[in-house]
Chain A
Amino acid sequence: MNEILGIILAAIISWFNFVLIDTWMGLPESPGVKGAEIIGRSIQKRGGNLAGGFFQGNIVCSPDASAGTLLASIACFTIGTPEGGLIAAVLVYFGNRLCADPGYAGTTGALSITAIIYLTSFIGFKPEFFIVGMVLAILTIQGLYQTGASRLLGKLAQKMGRYTKIS
């Protein structure tokens, strides 16, 4: 498979993977730690959405499904396809508990991306496509245009019924 096309497809797949799992696990609902609330208020002051700001703050302050996706891809690339993802899930769980978070989102993301890598390896995807694709996906949320990304995340949270109750 062509390398550039594979990277772009992997970026789209991992974007949907971690955004859907994070929203379903209730990241936009409430700030888990105190630092996430400050980042959300700052995003709102600059013209963004509060729920999307909480989402971005929670990603900064503890390893969530985004970290699970990236680390499981790295471990699948270096260790081997089914075993690496399972080892990464255990290590992400302990890292989550160190950062004062229950740890559901991280392990779910790691296990689901392991299944996706195993299934798409039959049609020619390699795990390194998913590593670069995950970095591109996190760049579109945290790096390029933060207030627009927070508005998009807020709209998605409203559609999935996980909108924040704090005003």
Chain B
Amino acid sequence: MLIEILGIIVIIMALRTLLAQNREERLLCLNVIGFSMSAIIGLYIQTPFGAIIAITFFVTSTLSSNAIAYSLGRVKEEIMVK
């Protein structure tokens, strides 16, 4: 019952990330996926090492979205090769 609710949230947010209009909205939806995936990992592995993996996964996913948000400001407009 618990994992099913979280799974439906994850799939809806993934589709919204794919179909979003601009890039910052994509980043906010990606954050929700990080939250709910670490919750599913904690609920699925019911041992102390599961909690350690959930904490590590959450902190590293936050670190990568921090780097992405920093380089969003650095790269103002992207020049693409035709």
Residues of B within 8 A of A136 (CB): 9
Q: Per-residue 0/1 for A107-132: is the Cβ within 8 Å of any B Cβ (1 yes, 0 no)?
A: 00000000000000000000010011
How many A-B pairs fall under 8 Å by CB? 133
- A70 partner, pick from B27, B35, B47, B72, beta carbons under 8 A: B35
Q: Is A79 an interface residue (CB 8 A)?
A: yes
Query: DSSP majority for the A interface?
Result: helix
Contact A75 B31 (CB under 8 A): no
Main secondary structure of the interface of B (DSSP, over half): helix
Chain A min CB distance to B43 (Å): 7
Q: How far is the CA of A46 from the CA of B63 in the complex (A)?
A: 26
Q: Which residues of A contact B63 (CB under 8 A)?
A: 98-99
The reply on A138 being an interface residue by CB < 8 A is: yes
A-side residues, CB < 8 A to B, are: 3, 7, 33-39, 42-43, 46, 56-57, 59-63, 66-67, 70-71, 74-75, 77-79, 84, 87-88, 91-92, 95, 98-99, 128, 131-132, 134-136, 138-139, 142-143, 146
The 9 A-B pairs at the shortest CB distance, nearest first, are namely: A35-B69, A74-B42, A95-B59, A42-B24, A78-B51, A38-B73, A75-B51, A35-B70, A61-B66
